Amino acid sequence: MKKKTSMLLIAAIAATVLFTQGETEARKAQIPPRPDGPVQNMDVPFPIGVFWIQRADEITDASMEDIKNMNVNFLVPHNGTNSFATHDRVMDFAEAHDLKVMMFDERFNYQFTNNSNPLSEEVLAAPQDIVNHYKGRPGLLGYNIIDEPTGYESIDNVAQVQELFRTYDPEHMTFVNLTGYWDNYNHTGYTKEISGDYARPDSLLGQTFRTQPDEKQITSIQIWLDFNQFKDDERLTMNIWDSSGKKKLIDSSTITAEAAKVFTTFNFDAKVKGNTDYYWEIVHEGGGDSSVGWIVRSKDGENWYPQGTGSVNGTPFNGDFFFFVNSSFYENYVSQWASKNPDMLSFDTYPFSINGGIEQHTYRTLEIVRRQALKHNLDLWSYMQSVGIDALREPDEGEMRYNLYTHLAYGVKGIIYFTYGTPPIPGFHDGLLNSNNEITDKYYYAQQNNADLLQLGETLTQLTSLAVYHTGSTIPEATNRLPAKSAVQPADNNEPYIISYFEHQNGDPYVMIVNRDYDNASEGTFTFKHKPKWIQEISKENGEAVDTDYVRNTGTLTLSFKEGEGILLKLPAGYNLD
């Protein structure tokens, strides 16, 4: 179960994280790739699932037909469906309605896989037992091992379970879903004992480190600190030097209390050489009580980072500070799981805050998971918010459309609605079904979005994301503004759009443009710099490439968008998207 905003749900999830910059070569070893694996063989235009359906004993042909009619093709049942008896009943109805089931067994709950202890004999024996029971069933889609695993040692355990399932059943997928990025609550947790030091004007905290072989620039360094220690007029500066001897200053970055978080990031534009040793140092610039801490580090004798060491006032200690160069706590968590070669990289992020607007880390999550999916050559799946939960508002029609198309613009190739039914848990309200299992308006919004998606899906699933840009008077945190020289330009750069570039597996270029305004429909004119011979739109009616009103002599195309809608465009082979 989920979610960050429901403490009753998260209480079941232990916060356990392990710092991994000093991981062993054995841990780095990747599982052999599966280029023709189960995800590629789903045989659906686009994977569309629902999470939390009715209880197994409440399911009827009519209730299953409602799910099917929403243009869904698989189920992630939960809601007490976690045993042979309950799954058998769900699968009976699913098979009768041509739906697949991502099964979950109670032997794989958090107490077994979500910690750093060796797996129990019960867990190690369960995959073969489960496979023997389900393997021949046509309703089986795959094995849902765990939702939001915590920590890197936990991820090693989950990967071990994944491989057991693959050994006994290579034809069906395994499924693991990661949490999104959160400042003050990460399912990436922490199990190591920690220590820390205070940054003061007379106490300089430093760390030597080595760049990656292909690293040419440092854009960020993230540390862990107690941000509550920051006073309004205090400032911390991080300097990057050529060495601990500090002969040449490479770059500096200063933060104030306003920018301080649990995992605080210093931003740089530092040119560096690959596989080269450098030194960062934190300087307290005065103000407040002249003390900010803890800055988290290892206990003495704990070697978190083999390529360097921490120091106070230039004197090394036998340990390391907590830090990530050009990365973050969360990205390392995602990368750690992606390196285990899962069948897809699945994640969740729920954007609709009760206070209005979009939760601030929605796009930071999207940027990171997209980057890691491309790096590890994985399909990207995501959950769609369709329920209200505590601090999250219930999405309306435009917001649900926006949620879908923003994720598609980042290369997502499979979705799951969270939730279909409304969990009987305080804080949850009005899913696609309400608490009385009655269809809500959001059911029909999702039904239409899914119908469109099934038409676009055959094309979308064959695209590789090349770039994602934003326009608008302001753009979301952690995203990239559309370059002035980019191949596609809106007539008004103050209008909020996402402009994404893709390449089809046959080499053809595609562009998706999304109206980032979920409250208002819009019409926008776009100039295609190289004036292609033609521009076609992938139809939401039949999936075909159809002609548009593109004006070739001016290179312009005018498009009309519903609230939050995206439009997928095909361009001639060889068109340059640079």
Higher confidence at residue 233 or residue 25? 233
From 3-7, 298-302, 489-493, 514-518, the region with the lowest mean pLDDT: 3-7
Q: What is the pTM of this model?
A: 0.89
Omega before residue 419 within 30° of 0, cis: yes
Q: How far apart are CA 445 and CA 511, in angstroms?
A: 25
- Report pLDDT digits (tens) over 127-140: 999 999 998 999 99
- For residue 53, what are its two tokens? 């359906």
Q: How far apart are CA 371 and CA 411, in angstroms?
A: 10
Q: How far apart are CA 67 and CA 53, in angstroms?
A: 9
For the beta carbon of residue 124, count every other beta carbon within 10 angstroms: 14
Q: How far apart are CA 466 and CA 487, in angstroms?
A: 13
Most confident of 27-41, 173-187, 442-456: 442-456
Cβ within 8 Å of residue 259, ≥6 positions away: none
Residue 22, classed as helix, strand or coil, is coil
- For residue 37, what are its two tokens? 């694996």
Q: Of 36, 16, 292, give the one whose Cα is nearest residue 148.
A: 16
Q: How far apart are CA 163 and CA 169, in angstroms?
A: 10
So what's the pLDDT on residue 12? 28
From 22-31, 206-215, 222-231, the region with the lowest mean pLDDT: 22-31
Q: How far apart are CA 456 and CA 459, in angstroms?
A: 6
Q: Is a pLDDT exceeding 60 seen at residue 386? A: yes
So what's the pLDDT on residue 41? 79
What do you get for the CA distance between the two ends of the chain, in Å?
A: 42
CA 355 to chain centre: 22
So what's the pLDDT on residue 190? 63
Q: Of 307, 257, 227, 245, give the one whose Cα is nearest residue 281.
A: 245
Q: How far apart are CA 97 and CA 485, in angstroms?
A: 51
So what's the pLDDT on residue 19? 35
Q: How far apart are CA 327 and CA 5, in angstroms?
A: 25
Share of the chain above pLDDT 90, in %: 79
Q: Is a pLDDT exceeding 60 seen at residue 5? A: no
**What CA–CA distances, in Å, run from 408 to 127, 215, 401?**
33, 30, 11
* Cβ pair 458, 474 in contact under 8 A: no
* Cβ pair 79, 428 in contact under 8 A: no
Higher confidence at residue 170 or residue 110? 170
- For residue 543, what are its two tokens? 């999936």
Q: Is a pLDDT exceeding 70 seen at residue 184? A: no
If you average pLDDT over every residue of the chain, what do you get?
Answer: 90
Residue 545, classed as helix, strand or coil, is strand
- For residue 85, what are its two tokens? 């008896």
* Cβ pair 362, 348 in contact under 8 A: no
User: Where are the extended beta strands (E) located within 66-192?
Assistant: 74-76, 100-103, 140-147, 173-178
So what's the pLDDT on residue 578? 82
**What CA–CA distances, in Å, run from 7 to 10, 333, 347?**
5, 22, 19
So what's the pLDDT on residue 16? 28
Q: Of 107, 11, 47, give the one whose Cα is nearest residue 450.
A: 47
Check residue 451 and report its DSSP letter.
H
Q: Is a pLDDT exceeding 90 seen at residue 32? A: no
Q: Is a pLDDT exceeding 90 seen at residue 117? A: no
Q: Is 5 exposed, middle or buried (0-12, 13-18, 19+ CB in 10 A)?
A: buried
Cβ within 8 Å of residue 372, ≥6 positions away: 331, 334, 335, 338, 345, 378
Burial 314-325 (b: 16+ CB within 10 A, else e): eeebebbbbbbb
* Amino acid type, 287: G
User: Where are the extended beta strands (E) located within 369-454?
Assistant: 380-385, 388-389, 412-418, 428-429
Check residue 447 and report its DSSP letter.
H
**What CA–CA distances, in Å, run from 301 to 65, 116, 133, 194, 309?**
61, 21, 49, 11, 11
Q: Of 191, 296, 279, give the one whose Cα is nearest residue 241.
A: 279
Q: How far apart are CA 535 and CA 509, in angstroms?
A: 11
β-bridge partners, 311: 206, 316
- For residue 27, what are its two tokens? 């841990």
β-bridge partners, 164: none
Residue 189, classed as helix, strand or coil, is coil
- For residue 367, what are its two tokens? 């940027």
- Report pLDDT digits (tens) over 60-115: 999 999 999 999 999 999 999 999 999 999 999 999 999 999 999 988 765 556 56
So what's the pLDDT on residue 293? 84
Q: Is the dihedral of CA 224, 357, 413, 92 positive or negative?
A: positive
So what's the pLDDT on residue 485? 95
* Cβ pair 578, 466 in contact under 8 A: no
Q: Of 212, 225, 153, 144, give the one whose Cα is nearest residue 188.
A: 153
For helices 121-134 and 152-168, the axis angle rounded to 10 degrees is 40
CA 435 to chain centre: 29
Cβ within 8 Å of residue 270, ≥6 positions away: 217, 218, 219, 240, 250, 251
**What CA–CA distances, in Å, run from 83 to 96, 123, 198?**
20, 14, 51
